[in-house]
Amino acid sequence: MSHLTDSSQRFLFDGVDVRGESVRIASALTDMLGNQAYSPTLKCLLGEFAAAAVLISNNLKYEGRIILQARSKQAVSLVMVECSSERHIRGIAQGDLSADADDPMTLLADGQLVLTVEREAGQRYQGIIALEGGTLASALEDYFSQSEQLGTRFWLASDGAHSAGLMLQQLPAQLADGEKRSEQWSTLCLLTETVQADELLDLTPEALLFKLYQEETVTVYPPAPILFKCRCSRERSADAISLLPESEREEILAEQGDITMTCELCGTTYQFGREILPPQSAGTTLH
């Protein structure tokens, strides 16, 4: 069932300048949330961020990643989910991890939503928009309306154990004149507005698309898997430790016998002994 519960699926409307993405996440979300004691509200919030990050990452036409994060001065100071072009997700929340609310987005009230696009080649693009209430979907739509010239709509849902989402996006004009193009876009958005959160979470992508667009001709592409996978490594941890003053590293080693680093996003622990010191300090004889 993993191809159904942890997958991203693209679809196109025949004769219409609109494409769509459908996302469902289950096991990968459980793995992502399993390293911290998150409240039910935070699990739902991170679930929506995960679905949104995967939907947006499917726009990537090169190796890289999307980082979707919100910062606020509320009890929850940070919510962040990253999705690579290979649909590998990881994420974290910081602040009061026990915080609960009827509306998860109130935990980020008056904050900022930051969308970062990173290419493996090193290029980086970042956009920021204020969180002024409403849903994550509406905040993302505001962002795309300001940064893109193509209409983009989101529908997101999460119960903390599963998350799901739909995205519709206009394609560059090819098949219809301006008035007809606008009518087609409005019709598809109105049809999608009828979707309920439980339908997003419970129906298979095929059943959901048939329910919403049974009067349309839709081409559905094979599902692509979504996995939880962290980018941490022993080398990255060693690089971080090397930024500490040598005297501080010596002191930690003298007191504890080793230096330990644990990744907050996946829980992996890396241990280092005196090899983490410069060669001379570590006892290497120089000739």
Residue pLDDT, tens place only, 161-217? 999 999 999 988 776 577 888 899 999 999 999 999 999 999 998 999 999 999 999
Which CATH number covers residue 257? 3.90.1280.10
DSSP 242-281: TTS-HHHHHHHHHHHSSEEEE-TTT--EEEE-GGGS-TTT
Mean pLDDT for 69-78 is: 92
Per residue in 113-157, pLDDT (tens digit) is 999 998 887 788 899 998 887 899 999 999 988 877 778 999 999
**Would the pTM of this model clear 0.75, i.e. be above it?**
yes
The verdict on 193 and 245 lying in the same domain is no
Token pair listed for 54: 């995967």
The whole-angstrom separation of Cα 56 and Cα 82 is: 11
What's the distance, Cα to Cα, between the start and end of the chain in Å?
Answer: 62
What pLDDT score does 132 carry?
A: 81
DSSP 178-214: HHHHHHHHHHHHHHHTT--HHHHHHS-HHHHHHHHHT
The residues, ordered by sequence, that sit 6+ positions from 255 with a Cβ below 8 Å of its Cβ are: none
Tell me if 286 is assigned to some domain.
Answer: no
Which residue is associated with the tokens 């769509």?
20
Least confident of 20-24, 98-102, 245-249: 245-249
Per residue in 31-44, pLDDT (tens digit) is 999 989 999 999 99
Q: What are phi and psi of 139, to 5 degrees?
A: -65, -40
What pLDDT score does 39 carry?
A: 96
The verdict on 179 and 252 lying in the same domain is no
Q: What are phi and psi of 110, to 5 degrees?
A: 65, 20
Cβ distance 134 to 114 under 8 Å? no
Residue 280: pLDDT over 90 = no
The verdict on 243 and 114 lying in the same domain is no
Q: Which of 85, 26, 11, 93 is nearest to 54 (CA)?
A: 85
Tell me if 122 is assigned to some domain.
Answer: yes
CA atoms within 13 A on the CB side of 82: 16
Tell me if 37 is assigned to some domain.
Answer: yes
The residue range of the domain holding 207 is 2-228
Which CATH number covers residue 102? 3.55.30.10
The whole-angstrom separation of Cα 45 and Cα 92 is: 11
